[in-house]
């Protein structure tokens, strides 16, 4: 159950970072680790794929140092979801942290 809730936070992190700059799997894993989420490629890559399929992210494969790497960008729809969620995060924050 905790993992389930964490996955929602992880997806929000992904949207947030993809909105700032293009992201890729390994970089995102490091960023999430920094925030206290341990997530392996076996979990993260399917999430990215699902978010792409849901048209929240778009994917572009590029070859860097002879390695194929998938870069993700936020889509217009992804940006709207992020904005909508910001309001909900603020609402939740006010209720359970600020308590007003």
DSSP character string of 25-87: HHHHHHHHHHTT----HHHHHHHHHHHHHTTSEEEEEEEETTEEEEEEEE-HHHHHHHHHHHH
Min separation Cβ 13 and Zn ion, Å = 5
Question: Does 13 interact with Zn ion (rule: CB under 5 A)?
Answer: yes
Q: Is 11 in the site for Zn ion (CB under 5 A)?
A: no
What span, in angstroms and rounded, lies between the C-alpha atoms of 93 and 97? Answer: 5
Size of the site for Zn ion (CB under 5 A): 1
Q: Determine phi and psi for 54, rounding to 5 degrees.
A: -80, 5
Give the shortest CB-63-to-Zn ion separation in angstroms.
Answer: 27
The stretch among 11-19, 56-64, 76-84, 88-96 that binds Zn ion (CB under 5 A) is 11-19
Which range, of 10-18, 46-54, 71-79, 87-95, touches Zn ion by CB under 5 A?
A: 10-18
Question: Does 70 participate in binding Zn ion (rule CB under 5 A)?
Answer: no
Element (H, E) at 23: strand 23-24
Q: Which residues bind Zn ion (CB under 5 A)?
A: 13
């Amino acid at each position: 159950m905790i993992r389930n809730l964490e996955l929602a936070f992880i997806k929000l992190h992904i949207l947030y970072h993809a909105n700032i700059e293009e992201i890729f799997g390994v970089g995102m894993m490091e960023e999430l680790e920094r925030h206290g989420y341990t997530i392996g490629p076996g979990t993260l890559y399917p999430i990215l794929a699902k978010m792409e399929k849901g048209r929240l992210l778009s994917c572009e494969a590029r070859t860097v140092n002879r390695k194929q790497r998938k870069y993700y960008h936020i889509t217009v729809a992804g940006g709207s979801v992020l904005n909508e969620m910001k309001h909900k995060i603020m609402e939740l924050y006010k209720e359970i942290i600020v308590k007003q």
